[in-house]
Chains A and B, each alone.
Chain A
Amino acid sequence: MNANKTAAMVLDEIRAEALRSWEQMRQKTLIAVGAATCGRAVGALEVAGVFREEIERLKVDAAVIEVGCMGHCYAEPMAFIFKPGFPGICYGYLNEGLAARLVRDFLVDGDPCVEFALAADGVNDFIPTFQDFPRGLVEQKMVMEHCGLIDPENIEHYLAVGGYGALAAALAMDPGEVAKLVKASGLRGRGGAGFPTGSKWDLCRAAGEKTRYVICNADEGDPGAFMDRTILESNPHLVVEGLAIAAYAVGAGKGYFYIRAEYPLAVERIRKALDQAGKYGILGKSVLGTGFGLEIEVFQGSGAFVCGEETALIASMEGKPGLPRHRPPFPSEAGLFGKPTVINNVKTLSYVPYILRNGADRFKETGTPGSPGTAIFALAGKLVNTGLTEVPMGTTLRQIIYDVGSGIAGNSNFKAVQIGGPSGGCLPGETLDTPIDFDSLTRAGAMMGSGGIVVLDENDCMVEMARFFLDFTQKESCGKCTFCRLGTRHMLGILERITRGEGRPEDMDLLLELAGDIRAGSLCSLGKTAPNPVLSTLKYFRDEYEAHIFEKRCPALMCKDLIAYYILPHKCERSCDACVGSCPVEAIYSNEDRIKVINQEKCVKCNSCLVACPPQYRAVVKVSPPDLAAGKEKENDERKSQDNH
Chain B
Amino acid sequence: MSGKVRITIDGKAIETAAGEKILWAALDNGIYIPHLCSIRENHSPFASCRLCFVEIEGYPGPVTACTEGAAEGMAVRTRSERVDRLVRTGFEMIMSNHRTECGVCPKNRSCALQKIAKERGLRLKPGRLEKLDRNLPVDDTAESIIYDPNKCVLCGRCVWTCKKTGSGTLGFAKRGFDRMVTTFLEAPLGESGCSGCSACAEACPVGALALKR
Contact = CB atoms under 8 A, between A and B. Distances in A.
B130 A493 contact: yes
B193 interface: no
A505 to B, nearest CB: 13
Interface string B88-127: 0110011011000000000000000000000000000000
A490 B96 contact: yes
B177 A517 contact: no
Interface string A475-506: 11111111101110110010000000000000
B74 to A, nearest CB: 16
A523 interface: yes
A481 B132 CA distance: 16
Contacts of A510: 128
A486 B175 CA distance: 12
A479 B176 contact: yes
A520 B82 contact: yes
Interface string B37-79: 0000000111111110100000001101001000000000000
A339 interface: no
Contacts of A522: 50
Nearest to B53: A521
B164 interface: no
A527 to B, nearest CB: 9
Contacts of A482: 48-51, 90, 93-94
Nearest to A492: B177
A570 interface: no
A481 B130 contact: no
B178 A479 contact: yes
12 contacts: A321-B172, A325-B44, A477-B176, A479-B174, A480-B48, A480-B179, A482-B50, A485-B179, A490-B96, A520-B82, A522-B50, A523-B47
B13 interface: no
A348 B133 CA distance: 44
B12 interface: no
Nearest to A481: B48
Given A326-B64, A479-B179, A483-B90, 15 more contacts: A325-B47, A478-B179, A479-B176, A480-B48, A482-B48, A482-B93, A485-B154, A485-B176, A486-B96, A513-B89, A520-B61, A520-B86, A521-B86, A523-B47, A523-B50
- Grouping DSSP codes into helix (H, G, I), strand (E, B) and loop, the B interface class, with mixed when no group exceeds half, is loop
A514 interface: yes
A477 B175 contact: yes
A274 interface: no
Contacts of A326: 44-45, 47, 64, 67
Nearest to B171: A321
- Grouping DSSP codes into helix (H, G, I), strand (E, B) and loop, the A interface class, with mixed when no group exceeds half, is helix
Interface of B: 44-51, 53, 61-62, 64, 67, 82, 85-86, 89-90, 93-94, 96-97, 128-130, 132, 154, 172, 174-179
A304 interface: yes
A234 interface: no
Count class of interface residues, chain A: 20 to 34
B85 A517 contact: yes
Contact of B90 (A477, A513, A521): A521
Contacts of B51: 482
A624 interface: no
A480 B154 CA distance: 8
B93 A483 contact: yes
A475 to B, nearest CB: 6
Contacts of B96: 486, 490
Nearest to A476: B176
A523 B178 CA distance: 18
A474 interface: yes
A54 to B, nearest CB: 51
A520 B132 CA distance: 22
A89 B67 CA distance: 60
B180 to A, nearest CB: 9
A437 to B, nearest CB: 23
Contact of A304 (B82, B128, B132, B175): B175
A517 B47 contact: no
A495 to B, nearest CB: 13
A521 B83 CA distance: 10
User: 4 smallest A-B Cβ distances: which pairs?
Assistant: A479-B179, A486-B93, A517-B89, A477-B176
Given A517-B85, A523-B50, A479 B177 contact: yes
Nearest to A306: B175
Contacts of B94: 482, 486
A469 B131 CA distance: 22
Contacts of A478: 175-176, 179
B153 to A, nearest CB: 8
Contacts of A490: 93, 96, 129-130, 132
A120 to B, nearest CB: 51
A489 B132 contact: yes
Contacts of A486: 93-94, 96-97, 132, 177
A344 to B, nearest CB: 24
A517 B86 CA distance: 6
A485 B155 CA distance: 13
Interface in A295-331: 304, 321, 325-326
Contact of A474 (B64, B85, B176): B176
Nearest to B62: A520
Nearest to A514: B89
A321 B159 CA distance: 15
A594 to B, nearest CB: 49
A494 to B, nearest CB: 9
Contact of A481 (B47, B89, B128): B47
